[in-house]
Amino acid sequence: MENIKHIFFDLDNTLWDYRRNARITLVKLFEAFQIQEKYGYSFDEFYPFYYESNEQLWADYRDGKVTKEELRARRFPEAFENLGIPDADFALEYEKRFVEEVTTSNFTVEGTEEILNYLKDKYELHILSNGFEEVTHQKINGSLIKDFIQTITTAEGAGAPKPDAKAFQTALDKANAQKEESIYIGDDWIADMMGATRFGMRAIFFNPLNENHLWVEEIPVIDQLIELKNYL
């Protein structure tokens, strides 16, 4: 791809392995709160309910249907209620502990270090994430990603989540970049791909789970980060 000077990455599940880091933290908390001993449910029974609740609430946050506070207030109460533990009085403490502890695990997505090393001398590298401000910085500063990134923009800091154009414009302004010389790489079709292309920025879809999505000819699709070498 020609005339690219700036690469903007999504963070969670694009570079920072949210699924892996979250699962590690959730297992620790499940044991610490003695959920199986007290209620008879295993972690493997719990996790799909957490995953469903978390994914739906983040989609709702992206779409402007819930606030940060509502997401955090509902994520675990809904997961435990759907599991079969209604009115779980420990759920909000579980949420608090999860937010505090999830950034103590800092695994990155396979290929992150290799591809960032490959790109760092050719482009300026940036983060544009729908994650919350404080936690996003903790994730980056606690991982190898911090050594490669010039700017960090969050939806919270921008005042709007992707796919809103305001999020992309804020990231460009912070990076002193132009959309014509920039590209966005992320794993969410709506927030990342539709957001970037509607804004007028080129994009590459990272689809490691091979999820169904709309096919748009001008948007390349990769399932491993190292495949970016074919385009950049």
* Residue 214 in this model has a pLDDT that exceeds 80: no
CA gap 148, 125 in Å, rounded: 7
Which pLDDT score, from 0 to 100, does residue 97 have? 97
Q: Mean pLDDT throughout 154-177?
A: 97
What is the pLDDT confidence band of residue 209, given thresholds at 50, 70 and 90? very high
Quick: pLDDT tens for 159-170: 999 999 999 999
CA gap 123, 182 in Å, rounded: 10
For the chain, give the mean pLDDT. 96
Considering the domain delimited by 18-104, tell me its CATH architecture: Orthogonal Bundle (1.10)
Fold (CATH) for 6-17+108-230? Rossmann fold (3.40.50)
Which pLDDT score, from 0 to 100, does residue 145 have? 98
What's the length of the chain?
A: 232
* Residue 119 in this model has a pLDDT that exceeds 80: yes
Structure tokens at 98: 């999860």
H helix count then E strand count, the chain: 10, 6
CA gap 28, 224 in Å, rounded: 29
Q: Mean pLDDT throughout 106-122?
A: 98
| H helical segments located in the chain | 18-32, 35-39, 43-62, 68-83, 91-101, 112-119, 133-141, 155-158, 165-175, 195-199
Q: Mean pLDDT throughout 48-71?
A: 95
What is the pLDDT confidence band of residue 87, given thresholds at 50, 70 and 90? confident
- Using CA atoms, how far residue 146 sits from 16, 100, 141, in Å, is 11, 19, 5
* Residue 175 in this model has a pLDDT that exceeds 80: yes
Which pLDDT score, from 0 to 100, does residue 215 have? 78
Instruction: Tell which residue, 30, 20, 13, has the closest CA to residue 76.
Output: 30
Give the start-to-end residue ranges of the domains of the chain: 6-17+108-230, 18-104
Q: What is the pTM of this model?
A: 0.94
Q: Mean pLDDT throughout 61-68?
A: 94
